[in-house]
Structure 1
Amino acid sequence: MAAVSISLAFSVDPQRPNQTPAFAFSSSFPRNPFLFSGKSLRASLRIAFSPSSHSSSSSSSASTTTETGSYTFLEDSFRTGRFLSNEELEKLKTLEGFAYFQELESGSMWVRVMRPEDMDPTVKLLAESFSESMLLPTGYESVLRFLVKQYLSEKRGVMPHAVTLVGFFRRRPEACSDGDGVGEAEELAGTVEVCFDRRGANASPPSPIPPKDSPYVCNMTVKKPLRRRGIGWHLLKASEELISQMSSSKDVYLHCRMIDSAPFNMYRKAGYEVVKTDNILILLMLQRRKHLMCKKLPLCTDSPESVDMVAVDNELSSSSNA
């Protein structure tokens, strides 16, 4: 039988008793649309009224006042529609200000947290990647887009325990094909998902199952025309940098399919080691065998690790996780 949980919280401005409070709604159905199992169907419903920026400092609960007032320091796109602890608010502020920049041979890229305006292009990119990796017909891509959008919306609801990062790329003027010396506008180049702890972990993770209390990197993909430029490498580096800021655990896990030799080589160059591999019986479930890989981050990652980027670019033809 499906389990449904509902929580309701609101704040009303005493100086505006007739105001109609706005509310935020988020749901999950199911928690992970890409992984199907015979487990009971779970759905969750969270409703929280958005706090007014002019609300009075008097409140029946001092902690509620602190949390409500702190929302005014966050942009609308980072408000989760639920009350957060002070620690969660601080982490949201870290996510809001996170940015990773890197110069590449053919241009420059930067990585930040996905915002609402990035949702549709990110959904399109992920749907195309999943369709390509699963050898699905083109007509099925619209269904994938629907499922991916539901999934990403749910992940936004659990911030700051999990987050989707997006990377943008801008070509150098001399690299443009028209030769007019004018660089192209930035474009979405790739995306990656990072789970920081148990609350942000997927309910049905792929096998071999990683520890839910440890950071986990997944759903990384690069737009096909922009591969072989080191973009996947720097999406991974940006994820590690953010994990260093957000999590006390330095053991980072990810999956890599055994057939994906290029991403596997990239992960090995980045310092990841195989800790477990799927049993061959997983093939009976019509799934690809995967490696579970792990890396212990250094205590300080102020600068990206040095690596032969030419070698990475030559080997990396794609960088996506199953």
Structure 2
Amino acid sequence: MGCPPTPLPLSLECTLRPFLFSSSPHRPSPSSTAFFSNTTTLSLHKSRALPLLKLLRRFSSPSAPQPVTPSPLDSSPWPGAFLVPDGLQVLRDFCVTVELDHGGGGGSGGFLEIRPMLAEELDATAQLLAESFAESMFVPARYVPLLAFLVKQYVAERRCLEPHVTVLVGFYRERGTEGAAQLACTAEISLDARGANAAPPTPVPPRECPYICNMAVRKALRRRRIGWHLLRACEELMTQMKTERNVYLHCRVIDKVPFDMYQKAGYKVVKTDGFLVWLTLQRRKYLMSKELPHEIG
């Protein structure tokens, strides 16, 4: 997404935090959490919501369309190189296709294709992230359009840093059905220090190492191992891009389902937030890490 004027991108949480504050009486259920990345129990600050909603309506108006700024993958030839000489080409060609059984999620199974997000998929990806964030944080549904607007700006800024950052998306097609596949999942990967967040969540991961965040799976498609295959696809891409072998991610202490998945995938806790993090209106988080093999089997 040329790059917007902001010099360095912020994490999704830090982007949304100025417009939100902790006031929700609810507490998320570990089994119902859909947003795997570091987040905090937030609800919308009414005094800031009204002007932002007016801004949202303005930018949503047909008379004021928002241009999508291109990433290096949208132009050719691509300038510069990355961790491997043909890194941009590796990123552009990356695609993982897996066949899924119905498992516990119902249906007859289907096919999941995971690849880097295209410019025209920005709106749908932002909407999925906003819905997942709102669900896990108990933000009222009426604020989802505003969240989607804010998330879109964040994802656009991150995408303009490709190939140092990439946003993967997964499209699912039910077996035996026709028509377009539906967006099922997404995840963001920072591949090196240049793509690292300017204000990373705590505990802070090493900037030079790859970092996975903002994982989300569509609610209707959960319990089909889509999150597992998305995580494996992230690892495969990092291996192909020849990043540092130690990869990091965050998981909130209360999120048992994602934590179990990460443990089964080989991630171990290397650091845990202290209790004082609650003073900043955040949930305690684990920083987890895994050493990638030279090749993903």
2:9 counterpart of 1:31:
yes
**C-alpha contact 1:95 1:113 (8 A) present in aligned 2:** yes
Distance, in Å, in 2 between the alignment partners of 1:141 and 1:285 is: 23
What corresponds to 2:50 in structure 1? none
Name the SS of the counterpart of 1:244 in structure 2: helix
**Which 4+ residue blocks in structure 1 deviate beyond 4 angstroms?**
80-83
> Alpha-carbon deviations, 1:266-316, whole Å to 9, x = none?
000000000000001111221111000000011111x3xxxxxxxxxxxxx
Provide closer, same or farther for how the CA distance between residues 184 and 266 of structure 1 changes in structure 2, counting only shifts above 3 A.
farther
Residue 84 of structure 1 deviates from its aligned partner by 2.9
Q: Provide the residue aligned with 1:66 in structure 2.
A: none
Q: Deviations over 1:150-181 (max 9, x none)?
A: 111111110000000000111122xxxxxxxx
Counterpart of 1:279 in structure 2: which amino acid?
Answer: G
Compared with structure 1, are the counterparts of its residues 201 and 123 closer, same or farther at alpha carbon in structure 2 (3 Å cutoff)?
A: same
Match of 1:205 in 2: 200
Shift of 1:146: 1.5
Contact conserved, 1:28 with 1:150, CA < 8 A, in 2? no
Alpha-carbon distance in 2 for matches of 1:82, 1:140: 40
| 1:232 aligned partner | 227
Instruction: Give deviations 1:89-112, integer Å, cap 9, x for gaps.
Output: 721111110001111101110100
Q: Name the residue aligned to 1:97.
A: 93
Task: Output one character per residue of 1:119-149: Cα deviation in whole Å (capped at 9) or x when no partner.
Answer: 1110100011111122111222222111111
| Structure-2 change in CA distance of 1:76 and 1:267 (3 Å) | closer
Match for 1:269: what amino acid?
K
Amino acid at match of 2:215: M
| Partner residue, 2:54 | none
Please report the RMSD computed on the Cα atoms of aligned residues, expressed in angstroms: 2.4
**Larger Rg: 1 or 2?**
1
Q: Which has the higher contact order (CA 8 A, sep 6+)?
A: 2
How high is the sequence identity, in percent, across the aligned residues?
47
Matched, 1:268 2:246: no
- Residue 122 of structure 1 corresponds to which residue in structure 2? 125
Residue identity matched to 1:34: E
Deviation at 1:82, TM superposition (A): 11
Q: Is 2:144 the partner of 1:165?
A: no
Structure 1, unaligned runs of 5 or more: 1-23, 39-74, 174-181, 304-322
Q: How far 1:83 moved relative to its partner? A: 7.3
User: Is 2:236 the counterpart of 1:241?
Assistant: yes
Give 1:280's aligned amino acid. Answer: F
Contact 2:187 2:214 in 1 (8 A): yes
**Distance in 1 separating the partners of 2:181 and 2:100:** 14
Asked if the contact 1:27–1:154 (Cα under 8 Å) also holds between the matched residues in 2, the reply is no
SS class of match (1:214): coil
Report the more deviating stretch, 157-166 or 128-137. 128-137
1:135 aligns with 2:138: yes
- Residue 184 (structure 1) shift: 5.8
Give how far 1:207 is off.
Answer: 0.4
User: Gapped runs of 5+ residues in structure 2?
Assistant: 19-69, 102-108
Amino acid in the other structure paired with 2:9: R
Please tell me the residue identity of whatever aligns with 1:26.
Answer: P
AA in 1 matched with 2:282: Q
SS at match of 2:86: helix
The TM-score with structure 1 as length reference comes to: 0.68
Shift, 1:245, TM fit: 0.9
Report the CA distance shift for 1:213/1:76 in structure 2 as closer, same or farther (over 3 A).
closer
2:208 partner letter? D
